[in-house]
Structure 1
Amino acid sequence: MKQEQNKPNQTEFVFGHYASVETLKGTQEINKVWLQTGLQDKIRNEVTQLAKKKGLVIQQAPKSKLDELTDGGNHQGVVLSVAAFEYASIDDLFDNAKRHNEEPFFLILDGIEDPHNLGSIIRTADAAGVHGIIIPKRRAVQLTATVAKISTGAIEHVPVVRVTNLVNTVSELKDRGVWVFGTDVAGEDYRRLDAKGATALVIGNEGKGLSPLLKKKVDGMLTIPMVGHVQSLNASVAASLLIYQGFSSRHPL
């Protein structure tokens, strides 16, 4: 992966019970383990046992400290300080498309919180030839050992950019000739998507969907028609359908 510019010594935080346990079982470099004071024994014992096997420093801290480390994320009393994954830049994504002699095809993820969703999306993106993924720095899952594991190696082939402001990034992409499409129940049928030109697809948060500000910035909205009783799809499943509609328009039978 490419290195995020000007931040070579950056530290990341993996948080949440399951994500932390998976990271402790993996090979990602871990600097410190933070456990919330008074954490229930089952989680505490599991995390402590795994941390001691790796010879890691375990730091007890109040919930307020863990809230601060995770920017209010759902940490469940466990936070890991890990060596930073390397990120790309927006220019890297355009360069990647150019190397393949293709029009840019990007994904923008608006606050995806589940590392399994992000890992699955990266895996699908790699399979369908997406040139890069853009994620926000705050209130969203970052590149973690769990994400890497779920992506089954695709994380090494799909550049991921993190940005401070997705709305500003969408404006930049549009200025550079990219058509940006969001997802909404009131959008146009996704099967009409033509992604032959420079295209970016915005996938919303698992529960809240696209943020109102992003909805106002996109060029169009797409919807996935559903006839069953459950009128929603997992974020990674929805992303996969949209990605492969883009793939189909670029590589017709």
Structure 2
Amino acid sequence: MPDLFPVPDFPRLPVTGGDDLYPVTRVFCVGRNYAAHAAEMGNEVDREAPFYFTKNPLHVVHAGATLSYPPGTQDYHHEMEFVVAIATPIFQGSRDAAQAAIFGYGAGLDMTRRDLQGQAKEKRRPWDLGKDVEGSAVLGPLTRAAKFGAVADQRIHLMVNGETRQDATLGEMIHDCAAVVADLSKYYHLAPGDVILTGTPAGVGPVFAGDVLHGEIAGCAPVDLVLT
């Protein structure tokens, strides 16, 4: 039987060094995974385990996109993040199994309607209106894990209009990539197509129409965004 309306395809991320594309079917995000960012937001750090929220995969856009400032907010924020993409199924896996399940890494932006997120926090409601926004997951091309090498102290930084806003290292993550994947696999049957944004360093802040964002992580392709 025919569909009543056209169904959009899942977004596909380029993979550096070839013509392969990585379809994105689910987007998970880690909250408060850098101590300095948690502190700047007035939150305590949970070192026992990560916590998560999700984004609709159809809200993914490619690096280099030009997007309109979103509706319903007066306080739209940038959050530069290290992205992990899953290669093989994993469920209730060990740390070693989690590391082996990683396909590759990339640079991404978790764009946030901070005022709506703040209102949700005050009312103890979900963060969806603040976080799960059309165009709010800006993802760059992926670098295969073998080519990237060990995740250690690679620099992660973001510039807005040429001015550095965020500047840290991946070594500052509270929960590293293998720990995040292993923990998340306790709750979901992770599979190829799942990507995880692993949290943002300190320095988040507002952006406005006309701003140009440029983020880099050593070893990954950059991520860019223009707001209109």
Larger Rg: 1
Decide which structure has greater helix share: 1
With CA pairs under 8 Å and 6+ residues apart, which has the higher RCO, 1 or 2?
2
Structure 1 or 2: more strand by fraction: 2
